[in-house]
Amino acid sequence: MQIKDTAAIVTGGASGLGAATAARLAAGGAKVFAFDLPASIEGAPQVDGVEYVAVDVTDPEQVQAAVDTAAGAGVPLRTVVNCAGIGPSTRILGKKGPHDLALYAKVIQVNLVGSFNVLTLAAEKIAATEGDEHGQRGVIINTASIAAYDGQVGQAAYSSSKGGIVGLTLPAARDLAQYGIRVMTIAPGIVETPMLATVSEEFRESLAKGVPFPQRLARPDEYAQLAQSIIEHDYLNGEVIRMDGSLRMAPR
């Protein structure tokens, strides 16, 4: 599927994986709508071809309005890449007592429900577009994590949310096949994103040493490259791709 002269939605598009993906799609000729929270958008770099839209992905009305904006860009909406997410770490039983239920629910709401919300509302708009010669109309890429498979101590909420993304992939692809919409998921390993900006260089080096090869952290632009490859490869559908250097995380 071509990227040029189409519209794309990237959630979490103001930083990290989302920002790299938004920039790459814009460089490929797409009109990109980067959804993110207002506070994140304030410090985001201005990129040609990227329009920032203040959106809370857990709010159906905000998402609907933002999707309507992307669908009305004058070019067909073809792509959605869901990168928005949060990753707090809390043990089920910690020094302060049991895991806070509200925090668990929030992680599920942002990471899983938010992705489903955007996927569903955007799919309706994509399905209304004219398909190409093969009947293809679009592709939706969600972001899981290797924590969906190898969740560590303190990742009960995060792993649950990302496991949900993995489980959503195939049924969503099957549901949307009749509309010519593919659904894929990327499960990154440890990526050099703003979430790691607060840790020491020594700690980052120790994380990198745990990766079999290449023995370094992944880069956001590598995620963006993979997303572009998925968009352009019309026979990829209903699958999760691990981008982790063959890392299998230890319990802690």
How far apart, in Å, are the Cα atoms of 96 and each of 51, 159, 161? 43, 21, 23
The conformational region for residue 196 under phi > 0 = left, psi -120 to 50 = alpha, else beta, is alpha
Distance CA 13, CA 34 (A): 4
Amino acid occupying residue 244: D
Give the integer Cα–Cα distance in Å for 143 and 234: 19
Nearest to 142 by CA among 182, 109, 194, 108: 182
CA distance readout (Å), 180 to 70, 120, 139? 19, 14, 8
* Active-site annotation holder among 52, 104, 158, 223: 158
Cα end-to-end distance, the chain, whole Å:
41
Does residue 104 carry a catalytic annotation? no
Q: Are 118 and 80 in contact (CB under 8 A)?
A: yes
One-character DSSP codes across 8-24:
EEEETTTSHHHHHHHHH
For the record, the structure tokens of 187 come out as: 């499960």
Would you name the residues annotated as active-site residues?
158
